[in-house]
A and B are shown apart, each in its own frame.
Chain A
């Protein structure tokens, strides 16, 4: 299995390295989005020290870490799978002696390895030098573990969305709507503590916060949502349980969906 992961990841790395200029767009887009947040929150914090438990520095740190973590976990497995199903090209994977999920996961590893070099590291430097935001994890080991679990969660959520392609001819619409909710409820646009308390409690039980919000809070060093507070070890443990549940769900969906595949495309 490790040989497969290594082989596919390396091939994907080389394939995407040919399009490295596409990835370098992040050098422009990431800091630009951050600049918007910088102006918004600097203005909003005028005359206020704390908003929803965040100081201005903590808020900017939140957005900085969210940007960097998204470079770590970004994923296109769902789009890829539904495209393969829709075009009928998925048939070739039925003949391969490797599960498509493992193949797609290995592709993601290769893709993000390149992203780490071309997106995360340069943008980290921009944040540090240009914005004077020092992104240092409260506990490096818990942070790495939580980011890895976020990496898995992102993959599994997207993969499940891709599996819906077995039932739906075109999943662009449904995929877009789920992706939008995923990002909103993962705390990408605004910390989840800004949402009404009841919604925060509901969000705790959905898988989305484990993609980005939990890794970000673990990075910062404390966790709270909907009035609930957990230690870092507890929330990472809960995150791991959710990843296992999502893995089981993807397996279940896969077994149901594969029976629908006809190989003719649409």
Chain B
């Protein structure tokens, strides 16, 4: 365990040192990440300002869902999302071999060597919107609701990790395809809005087959006291989704040929 923490800390140290070589660019990127994430709250605001709304949801409830998405991204992405870019580059160059000969778990090493501080802007942006939304909602949130939120939020991180494993695993076979990001961005957009705007079949799809709704909708629903019993099935699906994505990653790793592309 101590060995694993040491590896993680050295990964963070190296990542920070290399990123700080271009401080100006780093600060701009941090701001860009934040502004980029504010795009969806801005669209929501423009919709509500035009007099329209999502039936059954007020502006601040929708903003709360989007804030939870940003916080989940802001916590999970710095720690493991960078492995997609890392693996994409290393597989394309054929230098992933260097990772394979390290004396520790290849998956763990891929994660810790991909720390990327840039995404932290999403976290602060998300927290700000969360506070703004909660202040305007003026609802009392019980301790149980916060506990539910934290538990579901942990599963949100697990879903994001699962997607990262699927995306990066794909790159062992689909060499150099930087468009995997677009696939994830498109899929995750479904988590930015209330589940009820989707058809019943689609709600089932994003809750019980590919648990996208767990990324932001369910944790936010916990705070709003709008959870339904389906969340228990969704939690089980999240666990299965993680196990499958992990197995998928190792299966795809076997396709690595060192040839680059």
Contact = CB atoms under 8 A, between A and B. Distances in A.
B25 interface: yes
Interface stretch (A33-41, A205-213, A238-246): A33-41
Interface stretch (A100-108, A165-173, A219-227, A257-265): A165-173
Interface string B49-86: 11111110000000000000000000000000000000
A172 to B, nearest CB: 6
B32 A173 contact: yes
A180 B198 contact: no
Contacts of A48: 51-52
User: What does DSSP make chain B's interface, helix, strand, loop or mixed?
Assistant: helix
B183 A189 contact: no
Contacts of B103: none
A169 B177 contact: no
Chain B interface extent, by class: 35 or more
Contact of B202 (A28, A39, A190): A39
B29 A172 contact: yes
Given A29-B186, A172-B29, A189-B39, A46 B55 contact: yes
Contacts of A174: 25, 28
B189 interface: yes
B140 interface: no
Contacts of A51: 50-52
A194 B50 contact: yes
B46 A194 contact: yes
A156 B29 CA distance: 23
A48 B202 CA distance: 24
B52 A176 contact: no
A17 interface: no
B150 interface: no
A177 B198 contact: no
A190 B43 CA distance: 7
Given A177-B35, A189-B43, A40 B193 contact: yes
Contacts, number: 96
Interface size class of A (residues with CB under 8 A): 35 or more
B179 interface: yes
B16 interface: no
Given A25-B183, A43-B197, A177 B39 contact: no
A48 B47 CA distance: 13
A36 B206 CA distance: 12
Contact of B32 (A19, A25, A177, A189): A177
B197 A39 contact: yes
A184 B39 contact: yes
A44 B24 contact: no
A199 B54 CA distance: 25
B190 interface: yes
B232 to A, nearest CB: 25
B55 A43 contact: yes
Nearest to B192: A36
A32 B186 contact: yes
Q: Which of A40, A48, A171, A177 has the most CB of B within 10 A?
A: A40
Interface in A76-131: none
Interface in A32-67: 32-33, 36, 39-40, 42-48, 51-52
Interface of B: 22, 24-29, 31-32, 35-36, 39, 42-43, 46-47, 49-55, 174, 176-180, 182-183, 186-187, 189-190, 193, 196-199, 202
Interface of A: 19, 21-22, 25, 28-29, 32-33, 36, 39-40, 42-48, 51-52, 168-174, 176-177, 180, 184, 189-190, 194-195
Given A32-B189, A51-B51, 12 more contacts: A28-B186, A29-B179, A32-B187, A40-B197, A44-B53, A46-B55, A48-B51, A173-B31, A177-B32, A180-B39, A190-B47, A194-B50
21 contacts: A22-B177, A25-B179, A28-B183, A29-B182, A32-B187, A36-B186, A39-B193, A39-B202, A43-B55, A43-B197, A44-B54, A47-B55, A51-B52, A52-B50, A172-B25, A174-B28, A177-B28, A180-B36, A184-B42, A190-B43, A194-B47
